[in-house]
């Protein structure tokens, strides 16, 4: 925006930060459509099957269900941590601690997700076995990729968060906005991944 | 955007290759799109030739391309050609020209911004698109050749059973990257229009071009991901052996091929509006500019376009009447489809009212705009027969469908693109195109184009199946041979007429007369700038006082147009960037 042209109200956020939030919301709406597409596909395929899960698929082992529940809790907790990290201005080392806690949750989530697949591979349940198996690995795998992407994105924000927290040289005002925008966008992505997991969990384990 | 003006890049690479400037990115898209248009067009000529003259090699190119089959297009390659013709024309010709090209060029200029909201994302959008082009081009060279499953890629025709090679998988990768590129572009367009309109420009002060492009961006953002999701499933089916679309049997092992049709058309119906909305918007503006009259019912036109955008999300089932869906469902889709004719008829009426009693200037952009109104009218009317179940069951998969969607998506969008190119060429390149040559190009295009696609409606009505390479194989189709020869003759003349455009384009690019700032006498913001505009467009962002079609305002004496930037308290001031 051009200085002097915002006539109505002065907003606390830098114009660039508002642009980024709108852009990020649009991206998440758009990307959310990919998730919805996968859920829609699940519904179309699932409701055509006479029995679900199909008769030849053994029921999911108990520890897989425990992993899924644990992961659900982890995801919710991670979002709470993240909310805490960004609940205040990003100028204290506390936000780094909370982001670290969020990342730890994500890491454990990913570990348990991989354990889940290993648990199912051992008795021989593969993606190519049938529609049920294809859908199971598709939905959990597609979501897990987002968790991994989220973790990488957090690593990308860390130098900026350090600088904002006053560890090392102070960033210029322009740079500071840049770092805040980046951190905030990544946090929006993570909350999205959290909601996507709740939906995936509900679809895969309860329908 | 920040209030300071960034310095112009100086190196060749940052200026012309990895450019952040929306005007340069626009040109990159347009050149790629024109190249795609040429490529897809030549394929169409070869397809038409094969139908009309079975057993005769296509002149010159036939011997070069198909030396192993005596210069003839084999049936397998015929399928590959119509598949790639459709894919190239939609994703690699129309999309880059109108959306990537003119979207990028017009949005910042017409709303008074210095660039897009996210210039880097804009650049990435082009390069993601370029990766997609590489995949599609590469698919011709993998063993087995490019995809031959039809541009709609229905399984099982598009499954590994019938498309064994990597060609179709590459096609899916190409689609994936087109999706990524379009999403990036859409996010940028939507944000830019929301955030960077010049002060004083309300939503209903925007040119209709911007309305069309903005609504296209909304549809792109929401519905291209559905195709992306569908493509992910198909890639997994092909490379990981999953069972999403496999047709083995419903229930235990197999998936459902119809699922792809759902996903494809949930995307596919909005896609036709993604393609046509920019053309509608552009033409709505041009009809007013060249009739020297305000656009009739400007707000109503904008609202009709919004209504169509919303409705377009609810009608996809009309592509699937023959899949055995429940009658209640198909009737709902039929009714919703028919409802679209209401807003469509409204802005069609508005177009006619805009030119009614106008001082019409038949410059080349105006001719192509009127051409769009004409062919889109034909296309829209033929759509009614496909939207109603009773007639669609008979017409499904015939040349009637081909004629219909070419009149709407191909002919109308092509004319919209030509109108846009002839209109904005001076602003883009700083030189005028040759108007006489342009007019000849128009007349030599509109006549054969109408003949080709109306001809297709007729043979389709007579039962000509859309993918049949040879009429001689079927007794009942033999009488249609002569009609098809005429369609091909018309198609070849249409193709030949485009040579005039290519000559005009390159001749004007290098040797056209220098363009003044405002050659057409138009009041939208880009025409206050020099041709071509400076790197950062506006030295000072203008204030907006008028709508985009301010004609015949009595407060201005010496001319019939008023710029959106002109202060009524200070008439004739010409605004901050006045020449
Ligand atoms: Cu449709």
Tell whether A6 is covered by a domain: no
Query: What are the φ and ψ backbone dihedral angles of B465, each rounded to 5 degrees?
Result: -70, 140
Query: Which residues of chain A does B2 touch, with a Cβ-Cβ cutoff of 8 Å?
Result: 15-16
Query: Which residues of chain B does A38 touch, with a Cβ-Cβ cutoff of 8 Å?
Result: 229, 232-233
Give tens-digit pLDDT for B168-224: 999 999 999 999 999 999 999 999 999 999 999 999 999 999 999 999 999 999 999
* Token couple for B198: 């010049």
Tell whether A39 is covered by a domain: yes
How many domains is chain A built from? 1
Is the distance from CB of B417 to CB of B16 less than 8 angstroms? Answer: no
Q: Between chains, do B263 and A41 touch, taking CB under 8 Å as contact? A: yes
- Residue whose C-alpha is closest to residue B401's, from B450, B347, B359, B463: B463
Q: In angstroms, what CA-CA distances link A23 with A133, B5, B118, B415? A: 36, 22, 9, 32
How many domains is chain B built from? 1
Q: Report the largest interatomic distance among the alpha carbons of chain A, rounded to a whole angstrom.
A: 69
**pLDDT at position A7:** 36
Report the chain B residue with the minimal C-alpha distance to residue A128.
Answer: B242
Surface of A (39-98) touching B: CB under 8 A: 40-41, 44-45, 48-50, 54-56
Q: Between chains, do B1 and A40 touch, taking CB under 8 Å as contact? A: no
- Determine the distance in angstroms separating the CA of A97 from the nearest CA of chain B, rounded to an integer: 31
How far out from the chain centre does Cα B464 lie?
Answer: 26
Residue with tokens 């009773």: B390
**pLDDT at position A11:** 39
**pLDDT at position A172:** 85
**pLDDT at position B571:** 60
The answer, yes or no, to whether residue B14 has pLDDT greater than 90, is no
Tell whether B498 is covered by a domain: yes
Residues forming a β-bridge with B561: B551
Tell whether B331 is covered by a domain: yes
Confidence tier at B574 by pLDDT (50, 70, 90): low
Percent of residues in chain B assigned helix, strand, coil, to nearest 5: 65, 0, 30
Is the distance from CB of A128 to CB of B241 less than 8 angstroms? Answer: yes
Buried b (16+ CB within 10 A) or exposed e, B382-393: bbebbbbbeebe
Q: How far is the CA of A30 from the centre of ligand 1 (A)?
A: 21
Confidence tier at B428 by pLDDT (50, 70, 90): very high
Tell whether B338 is covered by a domain: yes
Query: What are the φ and ψ backbone dihedral angles of B398, each rounded to 5 degrees?
Result: -105, 175
Residue with tokens 């999701």: B229
- Residue whose C-alpha is closest to residue B204's, from B549, B557, B571, B554: B549
Structural domain including A90 reads 15-206
Residues 6+ apart with CB under 8 A from B218: B186, B190, B309
Tell whether A196 is covered by a domain: yes
Per-residue DSSP letters for A116-133?
HHHHHHTTT--GGG-HHH
Q: How far apart are CA B567 and CA A104, in angstroms?
A: 59
Tally of CB atoms within 10 A around B381 = 13
**pLDDT at position B573:** 55
**pLDDT at position B253:** 65
Specify the CATH number for the domain of residue A92: 1.20.120.80
Q: Is A182 on the interface with B (CB under 8 A)?
A: no
Using CB atoms within 10 Å of the CB of residue B536, give its burial: 0 to 12 exposed, 13 to 18 middle, 19+ buried: middle
Q: How far apart are CA A102 and CA A75, in angstroms?
A: 9
Residues of chain A scoring pLDDT < 50: 1-11
**pLDDT at position A6:** 36
Per-residue DSSP letters for A61-100?
PHHHHHHHHHHHHHHHHHHHHHHHHHSS-S-SHHHHHHHH
Q: Is A173 on the interface with B (CB under 8 A)?
A: no
Q: Is B252 on the interface with A (CB under 8 A)?
A: yes
**pLDDT at position A174:** 84
Q: Is A33 on the interface with B (CB under 8 A)?
A: yes
Give tens-digit pLDDT for B92-137: 999 999 999 999 999 999 999 999 999 999 999 999 999 999 999 9
Q: Between chains, do A41 and B2 touch, taking CB under 8 Å as contact? A: no
Determine if the peptide bond prior to B532 is cis (ω within 30°).
Answer: yes
Name the pTM for this structure: 0.93
Confidence tier at B2 by pLDDT (50, 70, 90): very low
**pLDDT at position B572:** 57
Tell whether B574 is covered by a domain: no
Backbone Cα Rg of chain B:
24
Q: Between chains, do A22 and B263 touch, taking CB under 8 Å as contact? A: no
Q: Is A145 on the interface with B (CB under 8 A)?
A: no
Tell whether B579 is covered by a domain: no
Q: Between chains, do B121 and A23 touch, taking CB under 8 Å as contact? A: yes
Tell whether A1 is covered by a domain: no
Residue with tokens 């040119």: B207
**pLDDT at position B10:** 73
- Name which of A19, A131, A137 is nearest B255 (Cβ-Cβ): A131
Q: How far is the CA of A57 from the centre of ligand 1 (A)?
A: 39
Q: How far apart are CA B112 and CA B526, in angstroms?
A: 8
Query: Which residues of chain B does A134 touch, with a Cβ-Cβ cutoff of 8 Å?
Result: 236, 242-244, 255
The pLDDT of B410-424, averaged and rounded, is 95
Specify the CATH number for the domain of residue B336: 1.20.210.10
- Name which of A1, A5, A130 is nearest B252 (Cβ-Cβ): A130
- Name which of A1, A37, A127 is nearest B225 (Cβ-Cβ): A37
Task: Round the average pLDDT of chain B to a whole number and report it.
Answer: 91
The pLDDT of B146-151, averaged and rounded, is 90
- pLDDT higher at A51 or B226: B226
Tell whether A42 is covered by a domain: yes
Query: Which residues of chain A does B266 touch, with a Cβ-Cβ cutoff of 8 Å?
Result: 37, 40
Q: Between chains, do B242 and A5 touch, taking CB under 8 Å as contact? A: no
Tell whether B62 is covered by a domain: yes
Query: Which residues of chain A does B232 touch, with a Cβ-Cβ cutoff of 8 Å?
Result: 34, 38, 142
Mutation for A interface: B225, B234, B246, most A CBs within 10 A = B225
Q: Is B202 on the interface with A (CB under 8 A)?
A: no
Tally of CB atoms within 10 A around B3 = 12
Q: How far is the CA of B231 from the centre of ligand 1 (A)?
A: 19
Query: Which residues of chain A does B230 touch, with a Cβ-Cβ cutoff of 8 Å?
Result: 37, 41
**pLDDT at position A50:** 83
- Name which of B233, B240, B252 is nearest A56 (Cβ-Cβ): B252
The answer, yes or no, to whether residue B1 has pLDDT greater than 70, is no
Tell whether B536 is covered by a domain: no
Residues 6+ apart with CB under 8 A from B2: A15, A16
- Residue whose C-alpha is closest to residue A104's, from A82, A121, A122, A126: A82
Tell whether B546 is covered by a domain: no
The pLDDT of B10-17, averaged and rounded, is 76
- Work out the angle at residue A184's Cα, subtended by the Cα atoms of residues A180 and A186, and round it to the nearest 5 degrees: 120
Among A12-26, B419-433, B451-465, B502-516, which stretch is predicted with the lowest mean pLDDT? A12-26
Q: Between chains, do A45 and B226 touch, taking CB under 8 Å as contact? A: no
Tally of CB atoms within 10 A around B444 = 18
Residue B561 in 3-state DSSP?
strand
ipTM of this predicted complex? 0.90
- Residue whose C-alpha is closest to residue B485's, from B57, B52, B59: B52
**pLDDT at position B206:** 95
Q: How far is the CA of B354 from the centre of ligand 1 (A)?
A: 28
């Amino acid at each position: 925006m051009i200085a002097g042209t915002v006539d109505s109200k002065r907003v606390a956020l830098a114009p660039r930060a508002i642009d980024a939030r709108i852009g990020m919301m649009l991206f998440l709406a758009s990307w959310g459509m990919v998730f919805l597409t996968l859920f829609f596909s699940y519904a179309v395929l699932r409701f055509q099957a006479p029995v679900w899960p199909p008769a030849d698929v053994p029921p999911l082992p108990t520890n897989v269900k425990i992993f899924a529940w644990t992961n659900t809790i982890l995801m919710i907790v991670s979002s709470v941590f993240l909310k805490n990290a960004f609940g205040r201005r990003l100028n204290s080392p506390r936000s780094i601690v909370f982001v670290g806690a969020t990342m730890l949750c994500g890491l454990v989530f990913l570990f348990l997700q991989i354990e889940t697949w290993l648990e199912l591979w051992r008795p021989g349940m593969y993606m190519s076995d049938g529609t049920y198996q294809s859908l199971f690995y598709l939905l959990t795998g597609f979501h897990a990729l987002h968790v991994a992407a989220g973790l990488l994105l957090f690593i990308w924000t860390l130098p900026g968060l350090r600088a904002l927290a006053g560890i090392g040289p102070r960033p210029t005002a322009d740079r500071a906005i840049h770092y805040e925008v980046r951190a905030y966008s990544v946090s929006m992505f993570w909350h999205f991944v959290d909601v996507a997991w709740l939906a995936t969990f509900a679809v895969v384990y309860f329908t | 955007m920040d209030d300071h003006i960034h310095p112009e890049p100086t190196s060749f690479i940052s200026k012309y290759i990895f450019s952040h400037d929306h005007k340069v990115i626009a040109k990159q898209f347009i050149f790629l799109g024109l190249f795609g248009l040429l490529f897809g067009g030549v394929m169409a000529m070869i397809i038409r030739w094969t139908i009309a003259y079975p057993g005769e090699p296509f002149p010159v190119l036939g011997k070069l391309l198909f030396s192993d089959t005596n210069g003839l297009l084999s049936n397998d390659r015929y399928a590959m050609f119509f598949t790639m013709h459709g894919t190239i024309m939609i994703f690699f010709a129309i999309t880059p020209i109108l959306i990537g090209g003119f979207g990028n060029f017009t949005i910042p200029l017409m709303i008074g911004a210095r660039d897009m909201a996210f210039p880097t994302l804009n650049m990435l959008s082009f390069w993601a698109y370029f990766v997609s082009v590489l995949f599609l081009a590469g698919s011709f060279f993998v063993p087995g050749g490019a995809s031959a499953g039809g541009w709609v890629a229905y399984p099982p025709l598009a499954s590994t059973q019938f498309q064994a090679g990597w060609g179709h998988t590459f096609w899916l990768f190409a689609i994936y990257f087109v999706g990524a590129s379009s999403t990036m572009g859409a996010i940028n367009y939507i944000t830019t229009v929301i955030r960077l309109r010049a002060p004083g420009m309300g939503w209903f002060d925007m040119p209709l071009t911007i309305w069309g492009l903005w609504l296209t961006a909304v549809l792109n953002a929401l519905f291209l991901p559905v195709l992306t999701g569908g493509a992910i499933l198909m890639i997994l089916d092909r490379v990981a052996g999953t069972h999403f679309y496999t047709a083995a049997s419903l229930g235990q092992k197999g998936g459902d091929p119809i699922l792809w049709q759902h996903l494809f058309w949930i995307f596919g119906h909005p896609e036709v509006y993604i393609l046509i909305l920019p053309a509608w918007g552009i033409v709505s503006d041009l009809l007013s500019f060249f009739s020297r009259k305000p656009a009739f019912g400007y707000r109503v036109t904008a609202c009709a376009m919004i209504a169509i955008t919303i409705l377009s999300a609810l009608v996809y089932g009309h592509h699937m009447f023959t899949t055995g869906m429940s009658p209640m469902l198909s009737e709902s889709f039929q009714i919703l489809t028919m409802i679209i004719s209401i807003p469509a008829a409204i802005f069609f009426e508005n177009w006619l009212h805009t030119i009614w009693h106008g001082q019409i200037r038949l410059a080349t952009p105006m001719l192509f705009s009127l051409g769009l109104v004409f062919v889109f009218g034909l296309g829209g009317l033929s759509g009614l027969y496909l939207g109603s179940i009773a007639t669609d069951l008979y017409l499904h998969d015939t040349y009637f469908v081909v004629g219909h969607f070419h009149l709407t998506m191909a002919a109308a969008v092509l004319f919209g693109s030509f109108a846009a190119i002839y209109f904005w060429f001076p602003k883009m390149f700083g030189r005028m195109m040759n108007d006489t040559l342009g007019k000849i190009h128009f007349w030599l295009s509109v006549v054969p184009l109408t003949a080709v696609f109306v001809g297709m409606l007729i043979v389709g009505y007579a039962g000509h199946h859309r993918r049949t390479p040879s009429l001689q194989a079927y007794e009942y189709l033999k009488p249609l041979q002569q009609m098809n020869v005429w369609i091909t003759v018309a198609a070849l003349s249409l193709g030949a007429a485009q040579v005039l455009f290519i000559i005009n384009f390159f001749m004007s690019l290098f040797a056209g007369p220098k363009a003044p700032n405002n050659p057409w006498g138009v009041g939208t913001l880009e025409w206050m700038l020099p041709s071509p505009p400076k790197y950062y467009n506006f030295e000072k962002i203008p204030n907006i006082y008028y709508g985009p079609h301010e004609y015949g305002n009595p407060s201005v004496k010496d001319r019939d147009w008023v710029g959106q930037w002109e202060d009524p308290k200070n008439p004739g001031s010409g605004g901050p960037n006045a020449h």
